[in-house]
Amino acid sequence: MVVTTPFLYELKRLFPHSSIDVLSSTGNRGVLRNNPSIRHAPAWKPSLKGILWLWGVRGAYDLVVDLNHSVIWADLLMIRLIDPIWAASVFKVGRYGVLGSKLLIYRLMPKADCSWTRTITGRYLSLIEYLGGNPSRDYRYHLYLDNRQERVRVSTPITPSVAPNTWVVNQHGGRPKMALRDADMRTLIDTMLCHDPSSTIVWATAPHTYLEVEAKRKSWFPGRSNIEAYRPTDNALDICLLLSQAKGLVSPDTSLVHMAAAFDLPMVVVFANERALFEQWRPPITIWQRHVFSVCPKSLKGYSREEFCKAVEELLVSGGCSRSPSQVRLQISQGSPPATNA
């Protein structure tokens, strides 16, 4: 959902009087909170209730945009149920023995894949270009923090707001094999505290990792009040308040990296050694970043501890200090997005 935000911005710019809704999951709809480019982000999941909802909005939309770059049978069914006048899609590769370009349901689809970028965000923007727009190619994400945003939730709040000199660390990626080693996490936090004993370390978690991380924090760093485990909420955007005010991030490749990139946060990121996927999903480089790669294409197995520690030291010495307040693209919404003309 984060990587679609440049597309949504450009779609609204191309059709300024349109009303744009985004079908989303309950887990990622919060990413679009306060986004002025859209009208509504209805939560949807594949169920009987979800199918009935699609049938209920049948004929209500002029255009449906499918951003999957492969042929997905569920998407075809959803478009049939919604029954728009037009259906558009990014260029689709073949699947199930069917070429995406041969599917007549998509009346608007580029005839070839994007020629000027391999990134997912860029491929979305190429659809804007195909529709007649002139999209920006800086690929910056658009996340909006409400001025009523909840305060950062940590296990034991250090201050009423984010403490100065706060660093964010994260051990876990989206899959179990995409995690940093325990020994490296301890070394990482020790190095940060040695560099600046007054700094605050916030250990990011997801709902399924919070208890594990909190147990490690208490066991490894007893009595250290400036090391905290972030208590996750049911809204993915809540952690962005922390990221917008932090000095830097160290993390494996995961959605947290893309959210941090929206606020130009300096970071060290460990990726699996799959260069094609890296080119497809790498975050936009708008400020200092260091990328470390494993030896395995499907996991973080075998990433270099020496290279990782060197990158962290570079972040502490220079990267975290390279972001001035003028560079922070903190976008504040003053309330609900403005109404658009249907």
Around Cβ 342, how many Cβ atoms within 10 Å?
Answer: 8
Mean pLDDT of 166-184: 95
Q: For position 324, what pLDDT does the model report?
A: 43
Residue 286 has pLDDT above 90, yes or no: no
Q: In a 10 Å sphere around its CB, with 0-12 CB exposed, 13-18 middle and 19+ buried, how is residue 64 labelled? A: buried
Q: In a 10 Å sphere around its CB, with 0-12 CB exposed, 13-18 middle and 19+ buried, how is residue 156 labelled? A: exposed
Q: Please, what sign has the CA dihedral across residues 268, 269, 275, 278?
A: negative
Strand partners, 66: 89
Contacts 24+ apart (CB under 8 A), 161-164: 161/245, 162/241, 162/242, 162/245, 162/246, 163/200, 163/226, 164/200
Mean pLDDT of 77-106: 91
Residue 61 has pLDDT above 90, yes or no: yes
| 49/149: higher pLDDT | 49
Q: For position 159, what pLDDT does the model report?
A: 39
**Over the stretch 112-167, which tens digit does the pLDDT of each residue have?**
988 888 899 999 999 999 999 999 888 899 999 875 444 445 554 443 356 678 99
Six-digit token pair at 160?
């009423």
Spatial distance between the Cα atoms of 315 and 339, rounded to a whole number of angstroms: 42
Domains delineated in the chain: 2-142 (3.40.50.2000), 146-327 (3.40.50.2000)
Q: For position 265, what pLDDT does the model report?
A: 94
Amino acid identity of residue 71, one-letter, is V
DSSP letter at 31? G
Cα dihedral 244, 245, 246, 247, rounded to 10, equals: 100
DSSP letter at 21? B
| Nearest in space to 37 (alpha carbons), one of 341, 342, 340 | 340
Using pLDDT thresholds of 50, 70 and 90, give the confidence band for residue 341: very low
| CA angle 203–207–211, rounded 5-degree value | 65
| CA angle 162–33–328, rounded 5-degree value | 45
Strand partners, 89: 66
Q: For position 321, what pLDDT does the model report?
A: 53
- Residues of the chain with pLDDT > 70, as a percent, come to 88
Q: For position 96, what pLDDT does the model report?
A: 81
Q: For position 99, what pLDDT does the model report?
A: 84
Mean pLDDT of 181-204: 95
Spatial distance between the Cα atoms of 201 and 167, rounded to a whole number of angstroms: 5
Q: For position 79, what pLDDT does the model report?
A: 96
Around Cβ 62, how many Cβ atoms within 10 Å?
Answer: 12
Pairing mode of beta strands 227-229, 248-252: unpaired
Spatial distance between the Cα atoms of 251 and 230, rounded to a whole number of angstroms: 14
Residue 335 has pLDDT above 60, yes or no: no
**Over the stretch 216-233, which tens digit does the pLDDT of each residue have?**
999 999 989 999 999 988
Mean pLDDT of 23-50: 90
| Nearest in space to 64 (alpha carbons), one of 90, 37, 32, 86 | 86
Whether 206 and 327 have beta carbons less than 8 Å apart is answered as no
Q: For position 155, what pLDDT does the model report?
A: 52
Residue 337 has pLDDT above 50, yes or no: no
Whether 289 and 265 have beta carbons less than 8 Å apart is answered as no
Mean residue pLDDT across the chain: 87
